[in-house]
Amino acid sequence: MSDPILADAKTRPVVRLRPKAEARAIRHGFPWVYADELVTDRRTQALAPGTIATLEDAERRPLATVTVNPRSKIIARVLDRDAEAEIDRGWIAARLARALELRERLFEAPFYRLVHAEADGLPGVIIDRFGAVAVVQPNAAWAEAMIGEIAAALIDVTGVETVIKNGSGRARGLEGLPEETLVLQGQIEAPVPVSMNGATYMADVMGGQKTGLFYDQRPNHAFAARLAKGARVLDVFSHVGGFALACLAGGAEHALAVDASTAALDLATKGADAMGQGARFATRQGDAFATLEALGAEGAQFDLVICDPPAFAPAKPALEAGLRAYERVARLAAPLVAPGGYIVLCSCSHAADLTQFRNASARGLGRGGRRAQLLHTGFAGADHPMLPQLAESGYLKSLFFRLD
């Protein structure tokens, strides 16, 4: 019996859209088929998660090559619009080479997001590169099944020496995949130093959040650094010092990083020391909301305040609660900004669009007693491309305000 994951295009299974499903969306580039749009007979339900199949419309006309996971709400993901495409190591290598060509145009050093899932033609796959180290997040069943092929192609195309599989996060749970982080190739012993925007970050590629560093905020770090010269900076939800260290590199007088994770703050301190900025950097461990309240009670003032929280609204059911949380962040942070100072409010929530997030932030600033100018709206860097047909791929929003 042939491997259901690597089945030949001529013998692999066929799955079919329901009569009322919108085949035109697939033809125009939408990459997903939801469970209620596909004929899910016993044969389809019996397919192993990650099976490669041919997708047909209701009239049995071939539409695309897809990967099927009967356990997921997203039951099929488009791999290739060629319904006869062979999905093998060569196919993966071609997608990686195309992604690499873009990043090498954008960046002088090999520190970037190499693959941004559907937008780079590898559905559910995230790959962040840290020089000779690459971290792969196989967040879809097909990528989990073909992780060996992905790792081999990655080494062939990029020349990286170490490949780490980071099998953690909400997306894998939605696919029915277990949590697992391990080294697939090579070895890793210490945090990886990453130079970005003149700052030095220490990326914990084995035990940190996500892949160990957030490359998506790179252009927003740079914009904040332009506002930070001579400033007292507060960076809340700092992780390994994202905004704080960039601001120090931009000439900030002092930066205070706040995070719930002691380990992340230790890495931020090591980054500041590596930059020679340790004397101008401090940390405060604790819950962000409680710390914002405490700083307000202390009468603390900063020239630039940045709040970059985790996703408060990762899905639609959490939207209202998430918007209230963003409003609360803005309300608590607003009084900490010195007159004429700046505040940066960020959201990485898929479910909260830009207008909703901007309105929640403005309400919070107003409730915090401040009037604001919106100076700039930032998004993810170009190594996080957006698939126009998939709004979820444009998740990051960063709002820069000046306060009266």
Catalytically active residues, by annotation: 348
User: Closest Cα to residue 204, out of 181, 236, 227, 226?
Assistant: 181
Question: Could you give the strand order of the β-sheet that contains 74-80, starting from the edge strand earlier in sequence?
Answer: 14-16, 51-56, 62-68, 74-80, 32-34
Cβ proximity of 322 and 287 under 8 Å: no
Angstrom distance (rounded) from CA 334 to CA 372? 10
Name the one residue in this structure whose structure tokens are 């009239």.
59
Cβ proximity of 385 and 118 under 8 Å: no
- For 103, the 3-state DSSP assignment is helix
* Chain mean position to CA 175: 17
- For 296, the 3-state DSSP assignment is helix
Angstrom distance (rounded) from CA 289 to CA 321? 15
Angstrom distance (rounded) from CA 188 to CA 163? 9
Angstrom distance (rounded) from CA 349 to CA 312? 6
Angstrom distance (rounded) from CA 25 to CA 223? 37
